[in-house]
Structures are given as C-alpha cells and as structure tokens.
Amino acid sequence: MPTQQNAHRLRAGRYSESGCIYLLTAVTHQRQLIFQDWRIGRLLVSEFRRAQEDGEATSLAWVVMPDHFHWLVELQNGDLPTLMRITKSRSAHTINKARSRQGTLWQKGYFDRALRREDDLKTMARYIVANPLWAGLAEHVGQYPLWDAIWL
C-alpha cells in the first residue's frame, strides 16, 4: 500500500490518454480513518459518480477503505491529474462540510497504474473489491457497503 514515505516516487509529468484504463489510488492525510463511517464514504462515491456523469471517466470498479480508495476507470475527457484534482477537491469540500471541519483531507498526489485492454480487468476488479476482506473489515464482499464493479 502506498505511503507518505514513498510519495517521492510519484511520477512527474504523467502521461494519460482518453480511452485508456487506469487503477487510481489516493490516501487520506496522515492515513486518517475518515471512511470508517460509511455515510462519509458515500460522499466520496458521489464524486466518482459525478465524474462519470460529467463525462470525465467511466467507473469500472472501486472500493473505499477507511483511509484510502482504489478506483478503476476508463478515462474519457481530460487527463489523470485533472480527474484526480477535481475528485479530491470536490470530495474534500463536501466531506469537510459534512464533518463540520476544515483542513487537509487527502495526502498530496496519488498513485496510478495503466492497464491494457488485454489485461484481465475482471480479475483486477475482484482484487479491488476484495480489499475489505483482506483487511478484515468483512467476511464476504456483500457485508461491506463501499464498493462496486460493473462486472459483479
């Protein structure tokens, strides 16, 4: 799992292309367990949906963990830095307002991995939604409220 210590490994000058598929990960500031409250997690999910409605990206799979998220997307318009900046900014504003707080919600940067269409995207989606099982947050996926995948 990415940490603040290896944030220096984030690639400068990322290349992103519409129509390509990416696995994106972002971590909360100081790994705060903000999304232990599933209602707060749903506010982040609303931003994933908004990105899709706005034509920025098509969500293929996602999971919101207590201190980070994984989001498998097909980029539609724009680029990864813009998509992540908008998603993190909007979610921070909404979540801070709901929690009656101010300040930093997300660690700087994010992690991305480009996938090819030949890659087994369903297997990647299963990996993403199984994160709560590996973390001991649920015994089966249906028990965990903050995930979705178009194939499952």
The structure tokens listed for 65 are 């963990």
Dihedral sign, Cα of residue 58, residue 54, residue 81, residue 44? negative
In a domain, 65, yes or no: yes
CB 47 within 8 A of CB 87: yes
Number of domains in the chain: 1
Domain-located, residue 26: yes
Radius of gyration of the chain (CA): 15
Q: How confident is the model at residue 14 (pLDDT cuts 50, 70, 90)?
A: low
CATH of the domain at 40: 3.30.70.1290
| 60 located within any domain | yes
Report residue 21's pLDDT band, with 50, 70 and 90 as the boundaries: very high
Q: DSSP state, 120?
A: -
Which residue has better confidence, 152 or 88?
88
Residue 11 inside a domain? The answer is no
* Cα distance between residue 43 and residue 30, in whole Å: 20
